[in-house]
Chains A and B, each alone.
Chain A
Amino acid sequence: MQIQSDYKNGVLYMRLSGEVDEHNAVAARSRADQLADRYATCERVIFDLSEVSFMDSTGIGFLIGRYKRFRRYGVPVYLMNTTKAVDKILEMSGVYTLMPKM
């Protein structure tokens, strides 16, 4: 699981790629939190999930964890480009009520 970031016009984009599971989420968590602290004054954050090839319930915990982090700074979080498989997990767990899909 990798994270690439891009900052444009007040929007922080975080593109996740690879497999999101319990084992490989550890490094990605600290990378995402470093970015959160660095861009604490951005207007909004968008997670781009188009390159995620696999996600289990770890992804739910990961996204909600980041949502809480950004909420501290008052920054809203959105999700985009979810694949069908990822959509199924996020939909059933109610993640979209916290982080709307764009």
Chain B
Amino acid sequence: MKNYMKLELAAIGENESFARSAVAAFALCLNPSLAELSDIKTAVSEAVTNAVVHAYGKESREHSLWIECRADGDEDGGVLHITVTDGGCGIEDVERALLPFYTTLENDERSGMGFTIMQTFMDGFSLESERGKGTKVTMLRYIGREKIPNEKNQDAVKERTDA
């Protein structure tokens, strides 16, 4: 079975809960465990929050973010691909942004753990960003099946990103 969905949302905080719930509902076609669903919701929440808080600044309400999901598998499990894209300011220093506890908004009580959580909770992760054009986060999660070593997952994410 192959399944997909595409969502366009206003880049506003009110949509953070909707976005993670929508992806979790979509993932149900792969029959995930509660722990897997919880990881997926958390990772999506981090990606969407980044787009809401960082991508467009104070004009966030006027802009969109996009979520695409693809499921390959069946009720015994499979692979869930998720991309979260914005058309905002982009990330100045991607390498630095990926460091645990790094944040550009220290006074706002941001923990700087968003990307670390996405990387830890998912089986594959990649980040593309261009100044002034936007940011795209691609994540992959194996559901209900034996995990593949992490380097292979990164290759799978890369192949998908390149395609």
What bracket does the count of chain B residues touching chain A fall in? 20 to 34
* Option from A29, A54, A61 in Cβ contact (under 8 Å) with B41: A54
* Option from B17, B110, B116 in Cβ contact (under 8 Å) with A21: B17
Q: How far is the CA of A63 from the CA of B35 in the complex (A)?
A: 23
Q: Are B109 and A23 in contact (CB under 8 A)?
A: no
Cβ of A62 within 8 Å of any chain B Cβ, yes or no, is yes
Q: Are B111 and A22 in contact (CB under 8 A)?
A: no
Stretch among A8-16, A43-51, A72-80, A85-93 lining the B interface: A85-93
Cβ of B14 within 8 Å of any chain A Cβ, yes or no, is yes
Cβ of B88 within 8 Å of any chain A Cβ, yes or no, is no
Interface residues in B42-56 (C-beta closer than 8 Å to A): 42, 45-46, 49, 52-53
Q: Are A56 and B42 in contact (CB under 8 A)?
A: yes
Q: Which residues of B contact A23 (CB under 8 A)?
A: 13-14, 16-17, 52
Q: Are A93 and B113 in contact (CB under 8 A)?
A: yes
**Residue on B with the closest CB to A85?**
B38
Q: Which residues of A contact B16 (CB under 8 A)?
A: 21-23
Cβ of B117 within 8 Å of any chain A Cβ, yes or no, is yes
The interface residues of chain A, by DSSP majority, are classed as helix
- CB A77 to nearest CB in B, in angstroms, measures 15
Q: How far is the CA of A89 from the CA of B53 in the complex (A)?
A: 20
Closest 5 CB pairs of A and B: A23-B13, A60-B111, A61-B109, A56-B45, A61-B111
Interface size on A, residues (CB 8 A): 22
Q: Which residues of A contact B41 (CB under 8 A)?
A: 54
Q: Are A93 and B111 in contact (CB under 8 A)?
A: yes
- CB A13 to nearest CB in B, in angstroms, measures 22
6 more contacts with CB within 8 A, not counting A92-B117, A92-B120, are A21-B45, A23-B16, A57-B46, A60-B113, A61-B108, A89-B42
Q: Are B35 and A64 in contact (CB under 8 A)?
A: no
Cβ of B114 within 8 Å of any chain A Cβ, yes or no, is yes
